[in-house]
Structure 1
């Protein structure tokens, strides 16, 4: 079915978006929530209508397993898990209330605790203070596998309608998942938040270039160009004290303080913000209007006039299988109430 975009890609209203570059309150859930709320208030006070946070901002990205053996990591990871954020929690409610007060749309990256497991999660909270989208990184990367589980099937539905446009979200190396990106573009994102880890910038020798901040930023820039959408890149800063707490001191890929490479891209790939010192906390702003998307899409719309769906297309499965299926209706209802799934407005049912 044809989709009528509202607001359209020709909408000339100007509004601000914001990218967060900040140091997490490492392994401190209460402190993390307080800082998240403070940053939301600061960005909204400056007029931001869409605010993008880094990957795993609560309670910080754990480079620890990359820099140590598991025996050294174990006490850190135990504390890390104890300070992860649950979707259904007083802490999440506090963040949602702050978003409602700010009257903005916020994409927040966090370590999600669910039962005994952790996931690299994002929520999109709209201006009414409701979670419109909850998703998990569909495939965790390299050493992340020692801590986090893979995302659930509905996580491929990652674009939601807001008053300022269709807002999407991606975590880190999801930017180089070709089939996920095809599905992402098919949901017609107009703005997306790329949540990123802290990474070294400029490139340090001795490490693969692909894990540098420079490479990471270019991945988001490519998504902006491929999708014809604005890209908000949010990432973390690591101080010397933060590195010590996370047992990263002496890790050769980093210079502390550092890790930041936040920026905002236009739908043509242009950089809309000035460079920021990688070791400095900052909120980056850009004034945008969706009509810049039309300038790109008229030339190349990768899911429209510049596609060949008759030759190449993606088959997607975005619905979870339940771990246990109850035949009895009362048991099934009780189990559904217990799991309390977020009503994901980006689900396949919304197409």
Structure 2
């Protein structure tokens, strides 16, 4: 049996400010390490935040944000990811980080798994959906799955959980710990709460059940104030609202392994997982329910 303590981040990104964002990420990495965690997981595109402006249909404002988003996206070889690698290596903790990856003039929805040794593995979301395609590029990329000292860790972001081929890839790899990274949820002022947050939660639970694996599901906080800070001139800055959703950790039987934080509150959701040291006797070689 192997014990692994994990943490799911629930926090508001430092919108369109990669320098402040990296400082925030390293602070959470250190906080998770101080809580004796071996793995900490961040939401999808936590750096520099998910581009919610694309829902506002303001062409002029959208162009402004597109340029700022590109400027604040991260390069795979840049100093920002090296800083995360250093923090992980220094504190002996693995980090799953969702970020916008800049390659020339293109931006990809990427996931980085930084091991406690500082080694970085990156995978990109193959097919952004809906309006995501107005910001992010498509690519050919296999999902992120890595055998680490803490078990086989797989990562998917948001709608990739509906991609049967990518899900099957992780299933065949017999992952033990799955990170289901969600970007958060927000709606226009006056609308009912976004139903997709419930769908996302149900998807995480179903994934745990179907794959007999632990699921860490980090979600970003998305308050209106975040966009008022990020933009000082956009006429539609008050059109978005919402808490963003709640980060959770689930066991292979779909049970919740930690008490969630209130919606809108920032912090870490910490849970202890018990993995088998051998794959023998487990469903599809996955993790078992904690004792």
Q: Would the TM-score normalized by the shorter structure come out above 0.5?
A: yes
Where is the strand percentage greater, Structure 1 or Structure 2? Answer: 2
Q: In structure 1, how many angstroms separate the alpha carbons of the residues matched to 2:90 and 2:194?
A: 43
Q: Does 1:91 pair with 2:80?
A: yes
Q: 1:139 to 1:221 in 2, by over 3 A?
A: same
**Offset at residue 109 of structure 1 (A):** 0.4
**8 Å Cα contact 2:15/2:48 also seen in 1:** yes
Q: Deviations over 1:251-300 (max 9, x none)?
A: 36x33xx10310001111111121322211110000110149979945xx
Note the 1:102-181 alignment, pairs <5 A: 102-131=91-120, 133-151=121-139, 153=140, 155-181=141-167
Q: Please provide the CA RMSD for this pair.
A: 2.4
Q: In structure 2, how many angstroms separate the alpha carbons of the residues matched to 1:23 and 1:271?
A: 23
Q: Does 1:270 pair with 2:259?
A: no
Q: In structure 2, how many angstroms separate the alpha carbons of the residues matched to 1:186 and 1:60?
A: 31
**Offset at residue 68 of structure 1 (A):** 2.8
Q: 1:58 to 1:208 in 2, by over 3 A?
A: closer
Name the residue aligned to 2:39: 50
Q: 1:294 to 1:224 in 2, by over 3 A?
A: farther
Q: TM-score, length-normalised on structure 1?
A: 0.74
SS at structure 2 position matched to 1:283: strand
Q: Deviations over 1:171-196 (max 9, x none)?
A: 10111111211111001100011111
Name the residue aligned to 2:289: none
SS at structure 2 position matched to 1:121: strand
Q: Deviations over 1:213-269 (max 9, x none)?
A: 1211211221111111111111111233213236664436x33xx103100011111
Q: Which has the larger radius of gyration?
A: 1
Give the unaligned 5+ runs of structure 1: 1-11, 304-351
Q: TM-score, length-normalised on structure 2?
A: 0.89
Give the unaligned 5+ runs of structure 2: 287-291
Query: Which of 1, 23, 36 is matched with 2:12 structurally?
Result: 23
**Offset at residue 199 of structure 1 (A):** 0.9
**Offset at residue 13 of structure 1 (A):** 2.6
Q: Does 1:217 pair with 2:201?
A: yes
Q: In structure 1, how many angstroms separate the alpha carbons of the residues matched to 2:281 and 2:69?
A: 43
